[in-house]
Amino acid sequence: MAEPAKNLKNAKTAITPTREENFPEWYQNVIKAADMAENAPVRGCMIIKPYGFSVWENIQKHFDRMIKAEEVQNAYFPLLIPLSYIAREAEHIEGFAKECAVVTHHRLSKNEKGELAADPASILTEPMIIRPTSETIIGESMHNWVQSYRDLPLKLNQWCNVMRWEMRPRVFLRTTEFLWQEGHNAFATAEEADRDARRMLEVYRDFIENYLAVPVIAGSKTPEERFPGAIETYTVEAFMQDGKALQSATSHNLGQTFAKSSDIKYLDKDGTQKLAWTTSWGMSTRTIGGLIMVHGDDDGMIMPPRVAPHQVAILPFVKDDADKANILEFCEKIQKELRSKDISVQTDKSDARSSDKMWAAIKKGVPVRLEVGAREIAEGQLTLTRRDLGKDGKVKVPVAECAAKIAAALEQMQKDLLANARKRLQSQITDVKSLKDVRDYFAAEKQGGLKLDYSLVKGSEEFAAIKQEYAVTTRCLPFEDNGQKVIVAKAY
């Protein structure tokens, strides 16, 4: 197994502060150095820049294929939800739908001062909210579309923007507007719904581990942490390098909560009308924040090859202008060959200095760098460097074997990233025996997840006090412990 990248010899890092010095600031600076996103002028919102958006496009491409294999169909439902729809499901409002953007007018006009303003004459008879999630409006469609048992299961998904007003926004992790997919499935029986909610969580686990190379702990949420209206919330929890947890995707068994409030009924084979059972499941641009905090190092981002905007950076190193045309032509040939093998690649044709080209690719976390200079061409050997191995991992590869060696390096890197992150995850979870252990751990300002008997936590006033005092949360009851244990950690 490969070791994580070491800092370069002179101990200068591309990102300051380092992870150890100040993790939250390091995070912001990695995003900036990799040119992935920035805060929008609109409070709480972000602009996803091309390099960051390309990661989201890759997430969409692969995950969309996986959900279609589950016979889920994509569709599109309205952005605006009438207030009366939200008001239908009391528990849903309480826990959820309060901090949201409210649309009250449908026209602008000039007011008496000659300033542009909401036209008072255009006030809506019923205000609308921008969807924070779409259970209520998709429930209305399910009510219309589901008539008989033959219409079930009904599995729908939409890729869209949603909005939840955030007072303490952080790029990717918590933004007022974010992008996500929301799946909404309906079934004839309780058993099918629960099986589906667990199945979709397994699809998330598979995707997050095998594409994002982020290992997760899969389990159930405690009743207090469930999605409002759900009878079970299943979750995959990842752990960042600072020891905090990040909920990476959730899948909810909604029981008949929304079937009741939206009146989703079907005529069963036995001739009687029955209420359906529904699930919902979502994953958002927040996973990109997790990707950064799991894989990044003090030199910047490290992209897992399967979702990297480009997997290879070809770096033409031009020492003598006379060689330039020749080197660029050679790079073009290599680029073409790699693309023909389905390897995504970008050549840095700028006039930047060689070291600047190298550092730009490092900060962006391009999985493999390929240095091409006059000497390399003369020798017929290119220098290949894996981002996660750093200088120690440099290898010379004969030109003819270049594509095959790169493909192998990408595959190995994908595996190594996951294996290293899994090793770290294991070291981040500590088994403890008592609430005193929990208190001592967080009082000592240690960071990480604790695992203990759920019976010690459930209904405990002492635990409630610890939660409050140290801002820790119950992350999940891991499946592997059959609901007997609970993971406690600070979280994003």
Q: Which of 132, 129, 130, 108 is nearest to 120 (CA)?
A: 108
Q: Which of 259, 255, 249, 135 is nearest to 196 (CA)?
A: 255
Strand partners, 252: 233, 280
Check binding of 279 to its own copies (CB under 8 A).
no
Q: How far is the CB of 168 from its own copies (least distance, A)?
A: 14
Check binding of 313 to its own copies (CB under 8 A).
no
Alpha-carbon torsion angle 58, 59, 61, 64, nearest 10: 180
Helices (DSSP H) in 245-396: which residue ranges?
257-262, 286-295, 324-340, 354-364, 374-379
149 or 479: CB nearest its own copies: 149
Q: How far is the CB of 68 from its own copies (least distance, A)?
A: 10
17 upstream amide cis, omega within 30 of 0: yes
128 or 487: CB nearest its own copies: 128
Residue from the set 16, 95, 108, 469 that interacts with its own copies by CB under 8 A: 108
User: DSSP per residue over 13-55, as a string?
Assistant: -SSSS-TTT-HHHHHHHHHHHTT-EEE-SSTT-EEE-HHHHHH
Q: Are strands 277-284 and 245-253 parallel, antiparallel or unpaired?
A: antiparallel
User: DSSP per residue over 220-252, as a string?
Assistant: EPPGGGSPTT-SEEEEEEEE-TTS-EEEEEEEE
Residue from the set 89, 135, 140, 237 that interacts with its own copies by CB under 8 A: 140
Task: Take residue 168 and report the two structure tokens written for it.
Answer: 């303490």
Per CB under 8 A, contacts with its own copies among 58-77 are 73-77
Check binding of 101 to its own copies (CB under 8 A).
yes
Check binding of 267 to its own copies (CB under 8 A).
no
The interface region with its own copies, picked from 109-117, 272-280, 287-295, 402-410 by CB under 8 A, is 109-117
Q: How far is the CB of 325 from its own copies (least distance, A)?
A: 21
- 413-425: b (≥16 Cβ within 10 Å) or e: bbebbbebbeebb
87 or 443: CB nearest its own copies: 87
Q: How far apart are CA 310 and CA 266, in angstroms?
A: 48
139 or 296: CB nearest its own copies: 139
Per CB under 8 A, contacts with its own copies among 233-252 are none
Residue from the set 2, 14, 79, 435 that interacts with its own copies by CB under 8 A: 79
8 Å CB contact between 304 and 414:
yes
8 Å CB contact between 312 and 303:
no
Site string for its own copies, 18-37 (x = CB under 8 A): --------------------
8 Å CB contact between 368 and 318:
no
Residue from the set 20, 24, 111, 117 that interacts with its own copies by CB under 8 A: 117
82 or 243: CB nearest its own copies: 82
104 or 355: CB nearest its own copies: 104
Check binding of 50 to its own copies (CB under 8 A).
yes
Check binding of 106 to its own copies (CB under 8 A).
yes
Residue from the set 14, 80, 267, 456 that interacts with its own copies by CB under 8 A: 80
Q: How far apart are CA 210 and CA 406, in angstroms?
A: 19
Residue from the set 48, 214, 231, 389 that interacts with its own copies by CB under 8 A: 48
Q: How far apart are CA 292 and CA 27, in angstroms?
A: 7
Per CB under 8 A, contacts with its own copies among 159-178 are 160-161, 163, 165, 177
Q: How far is the CB of 202 from its own copies (least distance, A)?
A: 23
Residue from the set 21, 57, 206, 440 that interacts with its own copies by CB under 8 A: 57
The interface region with its own copies, picked from 78-86, 184-192, 199-207, 382-390 by CB under 8 A, is 78-86
Check binding of 120 to its own copies (CB under 8 A).
no
Close Cβ partners of 92 (under 8 Å, ≥ 6 residues apart): 86, 135, 136, 228, 229, 257, 261
Q: How far is the CB of 69 from its own copies (least distance, A)?
A: 13
Residues that bind its own copies (CB under 8 A): 40-42, 45-50, 53-54, 56-57, 73-83, 85-87, 93, 97-109, 115-118, 122, 127-130, 137, 140-141, 156, 160-161, 163, 165, 177, 179
